[in-house]
Amino acid sequence: MNRKHFGFTLIEMMIVLAILGILAAIAIPSYQGYLRRAACEDAKATMVGAANLMERFRAQNNTYATATQATLGAYAQSPVDSNSKQTDIVIVNPTATGYSLTATPIATGRLNGLGTLTLSSAGVRGGTGALANAWGSCSGI
């Protein structure tokens, strides 16, 4: 009698599952790192946009001192046009001649626990924690 067997053996299925497990172990952390770097780059771009709004405010009012969070409008969060907020951007101590912007990651965001980003009216860029050198490149986070 000639019998044909169709399907996969248990060994073949286990090999496929092992390969999928290895691929997932590599791909998932890599993708999460990509999402962190994207959130970091977006926060930097949003801060530059907020700085542009502050400069426009000063051109119209001849001072930064009366600037409020409402001055930043949509730029008070990053990303600007999304419901998946990653950072809050606040104006810190606006004076007549200067200001500082600080981007703080939200508790449920991808950048949580990595520090903050800062940008001053003089163009001084900085940060704390793992984000301290992020203005050069977010690839290190």
Who has greater pLDDT, 104 or 82?
A: 104
Is 1 a domain residue? no
Interval 31-88: pLDDT, tens: 999 999 999 999 999 999 999 999 999 999 999 999 998 889 888 988 887 778 899 9
Q: Is 93 a domain residue?
A: yes
Extract the tokens encoding 64.
């930064």
Q: Is residue 69 part of a domain?
A: yes
- Within 10 angstroms of residue 103's Cβ, the number of other Cβ atoms is 27
The residue to which tokens 């939200």 are assigned: 106
Residue 2, in any domain of the structure: no
- How many structural domains compose the chain? 1
Asked if residue 86 belongs to a domain, the reply is yes
SS (H, E, C) 122-137: CCCEEECHHHCCCCCC
| Domain-located, residue 85 | yes
Instruction: Say if 123 falls within a structural domain.
Output: yes
CATH of the domain at 132: 3.30.700
Q: Check pLDDT > 70 for residue 1.
A: no
More confident residue, 121 or 82: 121
Q: Residues 5-21: what's their mean pLDDT?
A: 92
| Structural domain of 136 | 10-140
Rounded Cα distance, 126 and 114, in Å: 13
122 pLDDT exceeds 80?
Answer: yes
Position 4 in a domain: no
